[in-house]
Amino acid sequence: MIIDAHHHLWDPSDRPYPWMDDSVAPLRRRFDTDDLSALTRAAGIDRTIVVQAAHDPGETEWLLTQPSPVVGVVGWVDLTAPDVADRLAALVDGARPGGAGPGARGADSGPRLVGIRHQAHDEPDPGWLARPEVVRGVRAVAAAGLAFDLLVRAREQAAALALVDAVPEGRFVLDHAGKPAIADEPRTTRPRAGEPCAAELRAASAHPDRGPGDPGPADAWRSRMRDLAARPNVVVKASGLLTEAGPDWRERPVHRYIRETVEHFGPDRTMWGSDWPVSTLVADHAAVLATTQAALDDLSPTERDTVFAGTATRTYLVEHPSQT
């Protein structure tokens, strides 16, 4: 079984997506479950988690109406709103079988709300996540039995750590392995069409502070990963790394970053996500999945199952007491 724990759906004709500038022009069209289903069938993906891409409650309501293979929604709510707990309760209730809210569904169809995300890396204030009103909102997310996805780069690291420490009862998910600057890495000498073997990956990861192309951009990222992995209430997504590497991702050490992500957090705290359709800026859906599988090909079958399904199930799809 494979669960895609991070992808998007959108229709820019329904609402604005301010981040969709000319640099991502191919993404400015509708991507829906008709597109998604064709890809998941071809890849053998059983279930998916769709993630918000706009600070708009209407988008979350729309995502909660999506059909299979979507089973969970990481949505958005105004974390600073005085009535944030009530807003979360309405979304959770509406996404239950027989619920009355905007995401109301029948007993055998439709996803449920499994988490909340705010695109903190787009906030002018790098300390936004640590603001008292935001911390209060994330506590309400935790009380509702929902995970909170962290979309942060190096700039927001200190605030993200402060938030995690301030809400120890919360479940946090680090999106895209903290968005490392892979595009700034030196190009590898590996042929474009080649893939590293398991022995190469083991050799590169045997020195967590020194590898091909180091010292360099990886050092700060490794420090960030160590800090976040030290918090037991944080899990990570091995997602979006081809996009971070850029169009010439085959010439960057993407495999090493995938492998080290798992080494920092362990398979039990790592999940895979395609980041489709953002990933289509550099690679097709099949290449994203195959690249991750190749990077982790010397994990045990149990460890691979955990990365590709088990962690996502435990993090997002297990009903938590506060939602029962």
Single-letter amino acid, residue 69 = P
Burial status of residue 193 (CB atoms within 10 A of its CB: 0-12, 13-18, 19 or more) = exposed
Q: What are phi and psi of 235, to 5 degrees?
A: -115, 170
User: What is the tens place of the pLDDT at every residue in 230-250?
Assistant: 999 999 999 999 999 999 999
User: In terms of C-beta distances under 8 Å and separation of at least 24 residues, what long-range contacts does 90-96 make, across chains too?
Assistant: 91/60, 91/64, 92/144, 92/145, 92/146, 92/323, 94/64, 95/64
pLDDT class of 105 with cuts at 50, 70, 90: very low
Q: Of all helices (H) and strands (E), which one includes residue 161?
A: helix 157-166
Q: What are phi and psi of 20, to 5 degrees?
A: -85, 75
What domain range includes position 219?
Answer: 3-323
User: What is the tens place of the pLDDT at every residue in 280-291?
Assistant: 999 999 999 999
User: What is the tens place of the pLDDT at every residue in 172-231?
Assistant: 999 999 999 999 998 875 544 344 444 344 434 433 444 444 457 789 899 999 999 999
Distance CA 31, CA 9 (A): 5
Q: Are 55 and 12 in contact (CB under 8 A)?
A: no
Q: What is the mean pLDDT of residues 24-41?
A: 97
Count the domains in the chain: 1
Q: Does residue 212 have a cis bond before it (omega within 30 degrees)? A: no
Q: What is the mean pLDDT of residues 115-135?
A: 97
CATH code, domain with 301: 3.20.20.140
Q: In the prediction, which pLDDT does 95 show?
A: 54
Q: Are 312 and 3 in contact (CB under 8 A)?
A: yes
